[in-house]
Amino acid sequence: MKIIEWIIDVITLRQIYVPLVSITIGILSYKIIRKALAKFIHKGKNNYDTKKIKTIIELVSNICKYILVIIVGVIILEAYGIDTASIIAGLGVLSAVIGLAFQDTLKDFISGVTIILENYYIVGDIIIYKDFTGEVIELGLKSTKIKDCTGQVMTIANRNINEIINISQKKATIVLKALTDYREDIDKVETVIKGLIPLLNKIKYVTTNSAVYLGIDEVNSNSVTYLLNIECLQDQKYQVRRDAIKIIKTEFDKNGIKVPYQQIEVRNEK
Chain segment 203-226, per-residue pLDDT in tens: 988 988 999 999 999 998 889 999
Rg (CA), the chain: 31
Does residue 261 lie in a domain region?
Answer: no
Q: Which of 235, 217, 234 is nearest to 226 (CA)?
A: 217
Does residue 121 lie in a domain region?
Answer: no
Query: Which one is predicted more confidently, 116 or 263?
Result: 116
Q: Does residue 27 register a pLDDT over 70?
A: yes
Does residue 77 lie in a domain region?
Answer: yes
Does residue 49 lie in a domain region?
Answer: yes
Residue finishing a domain among 55, 72, 89: 89
Residue finishing a domain among 35, 55, 89: 89
Does residue 30 lie in a domain region?
Answer: yes
Helices (H) and strands (E) counted in the chain, each on its own, are: 8, 8
Does residue 22 lie in a domain region?
Answer: yes
Amino acid at 112: G
Whole-number percent of the chain with pLDDT over 90? 28
Does residue 35 lie in a domain region?
Answer: yes
Query: Which one is predicted more confidently, 38 or 183?
Result: 183
The structural domain count of the chain equals 2
Whole-number percent of the chain with pLDDT over 70? 76
Q: Within 13 Å, how many C-alpha atoms sit on residue 62's CB side?
A: 14
Rounded to the nearest angstrom, the gap between the alpha carbon of residue 135 and the centroid of all alpha carbons in its chain is 5
Q: Residue 81's domain spans which residues?
A: 2-89
203-211 long-range CB contacts below 8 Å, 24 or more apart?
A: 203/230, 203/232, 203/240, 203/243, 203/244, 203/247, 204/236, 204/240, 204/243, 205/232, 205/233, 205/236, 205/239, 205/240, 206/230, 206/231, 206/232, 206/240, 207/171, 207/231, 207/232, 210/171, 211/244
Does residue 20 lie in a domain region?
Answer: yes
pLDDT of 192 reads 94
Instruction: Kindly report, residue by residue over 52-80, the tens digit of the pLDDT.
Output: 677 677 777 777 887 888 888 888 877 77
pTM: 0.50
Alpha-carbon distance 224 to 184, whole Å?
9
Q: Which of 235, 246, 236 is nearest to 176 (CA)?
A: 246
Residue finishing a domain among 67, 89, 111: 89
pLDDT of 244 reads 95
Q: What's 239's domain CATH number? A: 3.30.70.100
Instruction: Kindly report, residue by residue over 111-167, the tens digit of the pLDDT.
Output: 877 777 777 887 888 888 988 988 888 877 788 899 988 889 999 988 888 888 888
